[in-house]
Amino acid sequence: MVSKILIFMLWFLVWLLLSWPPRISSFITGALVSAFVSFMTMDILVKDRPSGRSPLRYLWFVYYIIIFLWECLKANIDVAWRVLHPKLPIRPATIKIRTDLKSDIGLTFLANSITLTPGTTTIDVDKQNGYIYIHVLFLKEGCPDHDMRLPVVSKFERILKKVFE
Amino acid sequence: MNETIGISLIVIGLVFDFLGCLGLVRFPDVYTRLQASAKCVTLGTCGILFGLFLFKGFSATGMKALLCLAFILLTAPVSAHVLARGAYRSGVKPCKDTVIDQYGESINK
């Protein structure tokens, strides 16, 4: 029930931002429309979730966003430097790394973060065996290590595990 | 004050967008080009939109810019991932400089 109300609030927020500045008429229309849309999309978006997760995970999510934005900025400066360098210093590779995340939303966030951070793009996810295939722009020596992990990915994974699982 | 920060953010965003497009021309194959476009263009466009938000404040335009920013951050990586996967599955080979190709090994099994 709580997640259904959360979905309604999310659609209502999107509506409000679209029809800014808020008026009474846009409030009423928005409530009706987002009630209808959340009723229609509920079965797709709401899945059974494990209960008993601590509310601390919202704090971890905020921490994750800060870390993510910082890594994203570093990644962009790194790629920009490689683009501008006259010798084009790249060592591309597609590698397989291991992940411990199981839930769909956790994997989605991890894959999206990988795509937006240092020289890596997710190509494919093998959910059964827990592998992610990524394309790396500059493969460092000794990466991935014997455990098939990359430092940056493990960093995201540790936080996402606290948030979604 | 807000306008100064906003305009400088727009300029920074434009620089990153330009570098992303330059990467699109200079890099050797599909996957490395996707790297350049997915990263630099995402951050550049987000910079422009956030600058626009600071410039316009909490007005109709500013709020729509914020909304666009959230949607771009959510959808740009997904499209880059789907393009890379689709290209690989339809047989586009990575360039000669590629050091390791574990994904190719896994789908050719």
How close does chain A come to B78, measured CA to CA in Å?
7
Of the candidate ranges A58-62, A73-77, A117-121, B4-8, the one whose mean pLDDT is the lowest: A117-121
Instruction: State residue A109's pLDDT score.
Output: 84
Name the pLDDT band for A50 (thresholds 50, 70, 90). Answer: low
Q: Rounded to an integer, what distance in angstroms lies between the CA atom of residue A17 and that of residue A27? A: 11
Could you list the mean pLDDT of each consecutive 10-residue stretch along chain B, which spans 109 residues?
89 90 85 82 89 87 89 87 87 75 71
Q: Is the pLDDT of residue A140 over 80?
A: no
Q: Which residue has the tokens 């295939």?
A: A133
Is the CB of A92 less than 8 angstroms away from the CB of B97?
yes
**Displacement of CA A126 from its chain's centroid (Å):** 17
Is the CB of B64 less than 8 angstroms away from the CB of A14?
no
**Which residue from B106, B80, B31 is spatially nearest to A92, judged by alpha carbons?**
B31
**Which residue from A132, A152, A130 is spatially nearest to A140, judged by alpha carbons?**
A152
| Angle at B21 (CA atoms; ends B19, B26), nearest 5 degrees | 90
- Range picked from A43-52, A81-90, B71-80 for highest mean pLDDT: B71-80
Burial tier of B58 (Cβ tally within 10 Å: 0-12, 13-18, 19+): exposed
Q: Rounded to an integer, what distance in angstroms lies between the CA atom of residue B59 and that of residue A120? A: 37
Instruction: State residue A73's pLDDT score.
Output: 85
How close does chain A come to B49, measured CA to CA in Å?
15
Q: Rounded to an integer, what distance in angstroms lies between the CA atom of residue A118 and that of residue B13? A: 18
Shortest CB distance from A96 goes to which of B40, B98, B102? B102
How close does chain B come to A67, measured CA to CA in Å?
15
Percent of chain A with pLDDT over 90: 1
Q: Is the pLDDT of residue A86 over 90?
A: no
Which H, E and C letters describe chain A, residue by residue?
CHHHHHHHHHHHHHHHHHCCCCCHHHHHHHHHHHHHHHHHHHHHHCCCCCCCCCCHHHHHHHHHHHHHHHHHHHHHHHHHHHHHCCCCCCECEEEEEECCCCCHHHHHHHHHHHHHCCCEEEEEEECCCCEEEEEECECCCCCCCCCCCCHHHHHHHHHHHHHHC
Report yes or no: B92 at the A interface, CB cutoff 8 Å: no
Using alpha carbons, list the distances in angstroms from residue B73 to A78, A108, B19, B50, B84.
19, 13, 19, 12, 18
Shortest CB distance from A17 goes to which of B23, B42, B67? B67
Is the CB of B104 less than 8 angstroms away from the CB of A76?
no
* Mean of pLDDT over chain A: 80
Quick check: ipTM above 0.90?
no
Instruction: State residue B49's pLDDT score.
Output: 92
Q: Rounded to an integer, what distance in angstroms lies between the CA atom of residue B39 and that of residue A72? A: 8
Instruction: State residue B51's pLDDT score.
Output: 92
Instruction: State residue B80's pLDDT score.
Output: 86
Domain boundaries, chain B: 2-107
Inter-chain Cβ pairs, chain A and chain B, closer than 8 A: 132
Instruction: State residue A148's pLDDT score.
Output: 66
* Best residue of B39, B64, B92 to probe chain A, by most A CBs closer than 10 Å: B39
